[in-house]
A and B are shown apart, each in its own frame.
Chain A
Amino acid sequence: MKLFISITVLAILLLIGSSLWSKNTKEKAWVQNITGVVSTIVTDRNHVQTKVNYDSTPSVGGDHHPVWLGCNGDVYEEPVVEENAVHSLEHGAVWITYQPSITGEQFTMLDDKMAGYSFLSPYPEQDSPIMLTAWGVQLSVDSANDPRIDQFLTKYRQGPQTPEPGATCNAIPGGM
């Protein structure tokens, strides 16, 4: 009986130990659930030199121009060509867009978030003040303070939805 108790206690201690150890390891960013993210299955992804009619504003993916926009934290002050931006989404970038009416303070907060695999541009036609787009996924928020912005960036920059894992956000040398 003594042996039974001691081994059971040992098993329980092992179980507690292993669960503590699990808590010490990093959460899996890819399985984190972010409220409000709209997912779309995108099947078209050919290179085209023509204008493309996208289903959403901003586009979440589809056929695109052979040249992608630099998306290593690049900040564009004017609206960008959508067909180029969609190619950056294919490379795993998160595209943050905003209505030009947001305050300077809000803009600065977004600007501060720019790093690898992300880019920022105004988008006057969009419905929400701030929108985040990666290939096949989109999130609308009202404020740059929204904690879901960082969650979205963490999950989707070169995230599991990326059509081309490992593709670069460096612009093609020579601007071509």
Chain B
Amino acid sequence: MNYKKIKRHTLPLLAAFIIGIGVLVIDGQTSVNSVKPNAAEIGFAQDMSVHHQQAIEMSFLVRETSNDPDILGFAFDIINTQAAQRGMMLGWLDLWEQPFTTTQQPMMWMMEDMSMTDHQQMMNDFTPSAYMQGMATSEEMNTLTKFNGLDAEQLFLELMIRHHKSGVMMAEGVIKRSDNETVVRLAQAMINGQEAEIDYMKGLLLRY
């Protein structure tokens, strides 16, 4: 192979390559199905969908026993919103061809590069025996199942406040580690929504 021949091949190939890149840049946007997800985005979608599922379960439990219109309405809202958001995240995993569940330890995707102080803070704030930080333990879920009326409402609010706090933390965790606009938009909506709900629940708790 002589030098001239390589040069003859290289020029048009380079041109084709540049045109190809140009098409990708013009056409492509960093939305959910056009880029490869990173470990944090996959981990967030997997963990947050488990996390959302428990909020749905707790809301169904309190609706079985409560007669308070505010609690009934609020739980109905959580069930619908979090079930739909769960579906959005599972939809990402589907498009990414990633498993819906993982054998990895929950939240590893945000703990690996976490500072010691942040890690300590997280351990202090949430129950370590829960499957995931901030989630209710199986004992707490059993208690919520047994409780009736006002007791169930109060426990529901306490557990859901803790649950939402860790949800906010997890959403902040993925925003730090993602530039996928679809993922970041939903995570930011979760932060805004769940922070507002924490305030609302704190107000409701004053009745008990």
Contact = CB atoms under 8 A, between A and B. Distances in A.
B88 A165 contact: yes
Given A3-B9, A167-B81, A167-B84, A66 B199 contact: no
Interface in A12-44: 14-15, 18-19, 22
A150 interface: no
Interface of A is mostly: loop
Contacts of A47: 196, 200, 203
Interface stretch (A54-62, A120-128, A140-148, A168-176): A168-176
Nearest to A22: B27
Contacts of B23: 15, 18-19
Contacts of A19: 23
A7 B23 CA distance: 17
A160 B84 CA distance: 15
A37 B188 CA distance: 24
A68 B11 CA distance: 63
Nearest to B80: A168
Interface string B50-84: 00000000000000000001101110110011111
Q: Bin chain A's interface residue count.
A: 20 to 34
Interface string A74-87: 00000000000000
Contact of B87 (A7, A166, A167, A176): A166
Interface stretch (B12-20, B122-130, B135-143, B157-165): B12-20
A97 to B, nearest CB: 24
A4 B27 contact: no
Given A46-B199, A47-B200, A167-B80, A15 B189 contact: no
Given A162-B189, A166-B84, A176-B72, A46 B200 contact: yes
Contacts of A8: 12, 15-16
A167 B196 CA distance: 14
B19 A15 contact: yes
B207 interface: no
A4 B73 CA distance: 69
A45 interface: yes
Nearest to B79: A168
B16 A164 contact: no
12 contacts: A3-B8, A4-B12, A7-B12, A8-B12, A8-B15, A15-B23, A18-B27, A45-B192, A66-B70, A160-B185, A164-B189, A166-B84
